[in-house]
Every structure is written in C-alpha cells, then in structure tokens.
C-alpha cells in the first residue's frame, strides 16, 4: 500500500468523529482539513507518522482549535488474500500489541507542535483489520503488501493536552530522581522506549536532567509541570 494512500481506517475515523460527510475534507487556511466538528474544532486523523503533519498543525493551532487523532493498533487481525480482488484465505491475530507508551515513537517527531493550548491529541487504542495481498515483487523478508486497513473497534480513547496529562495516563508514580530503567518499570515499557519517553518529556519541559548515575542520566520532574507551553 502506498504510504500516502488513504485507508478505510482513515475514512472510518473521520466518520467516528464527525458523522456528516459534508463536513469532511474542507479547505481552510491553504490546508485540506479532514473534518470540522459542529463546535468548530478541526479534526485531523493521522494514521501515518505525526511528523508528516507537524508543520501543518503548528500553523493551524495559531488560529484554530485542533484535535489530532492518532490510532494505535492495540489488537490487529491479519487477513490474507491470494489476489487483490480475491477472498480472504486465512486470518490470524498479530502477536504485536501497541499500547499507550508506543505514542513516544511518534512524539519524538512532534514535540515542537505538542503541547499547545489549542491542541488536543487523541490517542485511540483500536482493534484493526489489516488486509494483505502478495507483493508485486517478492524480496527477502517481504512476501506481501498491505492492501487496506479497517477499523473493527475503538477500545479506548486517551485525550491529552499537556505533558502532565500523558504522565498521568501512564500511571507513573515516580518521585525524586530516577533513571530510564526506573521509568521503564514504572511505565510498563521496555527501556529503549523509556529513553524516548524521557527525551520527549524533556522537550516538553516536564522532566529535566540532574546528572548521572554511572552511565545513566538521572531525571526529575520540573517545577513547570503544571503549566501548558505558551503559544
């Protein structure tokens, strides 16, 4: 599937937020907006990387209230076809489950847009169906390509506006100084992901580095954690 091609998942999430199709794909401020809610809130659904809409969101939030919708595949059913217009011949669930900490894979490319007083980030833990067909040209490690992704269910919606909101949703209860090893344990994530989390929280001015413990950087929460970043 072309990375720029809209999926069924994208269309379904637009309808999930704004049911009226007349309010989809609206031109505003030299941008195409996915949907506009009845209260005027701009809805941007981003199934691909958040980095692709970073500059767009930075510009839109100067004048408008924006909700960015980022779906994560909490559960994914893999449906396999022998050809694009054929029937499904096999189905199985992927062993990979995306959870809330996986948002840091996206936020590392988005912290210069988030947080912002006019921006809400909705992280959706979803059940998805991924339709696969044989690759046009098979290479090592790539025997199929994704034809489409569909929404089966929204398991949970996590709405955040600040770094403090995200910290709270992760149920992290660390106090004082800590390393990414302790952050990983407290946030129920692998350490490599905790390192990205620490970097993001530093960029959002929620954490600050205070020194080192061996080779590990030591962090603590800043006194600015209750404030939203100024526009």
CATH number at residue 185: 1.10.10.10
Alpha-carbon span 187 to 169, nearest angstrom:
10
Give the H or E element holding residue 11.
helix 8-17
Q: Are residues 34 and 120 in the same domain?
A: yes
In whole angstroms, give the CA distance from residue 229 to residue 116.
Answer: 6
Q: Compute the distance between CA of residue 124 and CA of residue 14 in angstroms, rounded to an integer.
A: 13
Instruction: State whether 14 and 113 are in the same domain.
Output: yes
Which of 145, 161, 177 corresponds to the end of one domain?
161
The total of structural domains in the chain comes to: 2
Same domain, 93 and 142: yes
The answer to whether position 128 is within a domain reads: yes
User: In which residue are the tokens 């800043």 written?
Assistant: 222
Same domain? 146 vs 37: yes
3 is a domain residue: no
The tens-digit pLDDT sequence of the chain (231 residues) is 444 457 999 999 999 999 999 999 999 999 999 999 999 999 999 999 999 999 999 999 999 999 999 999 999 999 999 888 889 899 999 999 999 999 999 999 999 999 999 999 999 999 999 999 988 766 666 678 899 999 999 999 999 999 999 999 999 999 899 999 999 999 999 999 999 999 999 999 999 999 999 999 999 999 864 444 444
CB 217 within 8 A of CB 202: no
CA atoms within 13 A on the CB side of 8: 11
**pLDDT score of 231:** 41
**With a threshold of 0.95, does the pTM exceed it?**
no
184 found inside a domain = yes
Q: Which of 135, 161, 187 is the last residue of a domain?
A: 161
Residues 131 and 48 in one domain: yes
Tell me: do 132 and 187 sit in the same domain: no
Range of the domain at 212: 168-221
Q: Please, how many CA atoms are within 13 Å of residue 42, restricted to the half-sphere of its CB?
A: 25
pLDDT score at 3: 45
Residue 231 lies in a domain: no
Residue 189 lies in a domain: yes
Which of 142, 161, 180 terminates a domain? The answer is 161
Is 167:124 a contact under the CB 8 Å cutoff? no
CA dihedral for 11, 14, 20, 22, sign (positive or negative):
negative
What pLDDT score does 4 carry?
A: 45
Residue 145: predicted pLDDT: 86
Q: Which pLDDT belongs to residue 135?
A: 82
- Does residue 100 have a cis peptide bond before it, meaning omega lies within 30 degrees of 0? no
Asked whether residue 191 falls in the same domain as residue 109, the answer is no
Neighbours of 42 (CB within 10 A): 24
Residues 28 and 121 in one domain: yes
Are 108 and 182 within one domain?
Answer: no
């Amino acid at each position: 599937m072309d990375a720029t091609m809209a999926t069924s998942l994208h269309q379904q999430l637009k309808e999930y937020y704004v049911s009226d199709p007349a309010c989809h794909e609206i031109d505003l401020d030299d941008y195409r907006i996915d949907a506009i809610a009845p209260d005027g809130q701009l809805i941007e659904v981003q199934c691909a990387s958040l980095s692709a809409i970073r500059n767009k969101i930075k510009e839109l939030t100067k004048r408008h209230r924006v909700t960015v919708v980022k779906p994560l595949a909490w559960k994914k059913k893999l449906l396999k076809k022998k050809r694009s217009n054929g029937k499904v011949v096999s189905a199985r669930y992927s062993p990979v489950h995306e959870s809330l900490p996986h948002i840091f894979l996206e936020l590392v490319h988005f912290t210069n847009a988030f947080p912002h007083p006019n921006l809400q980030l909705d992280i959706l833990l979803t059940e998805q169906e991924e339709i696969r067909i044989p690759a046009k040209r098979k290479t090592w490690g790539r025997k199929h390509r994704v034809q489409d992704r569909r929404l089966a269910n929204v398991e949970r919606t996590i709405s955040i506006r600040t770094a403090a909101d995200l910290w709270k949703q992760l149920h992290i209860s660390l106090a004082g100084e800590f390393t990414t090893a302790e952050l990983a344990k407290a946030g129920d994530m692998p350490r490599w992901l905790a390192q990205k989390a620490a970097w993001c929280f530093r960029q959002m001015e929620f954490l600050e580095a205070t020194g080192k413990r061996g080779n590990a950087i030591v962090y603590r929460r800043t006194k600015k954690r209750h404030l939203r970043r100024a526009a």
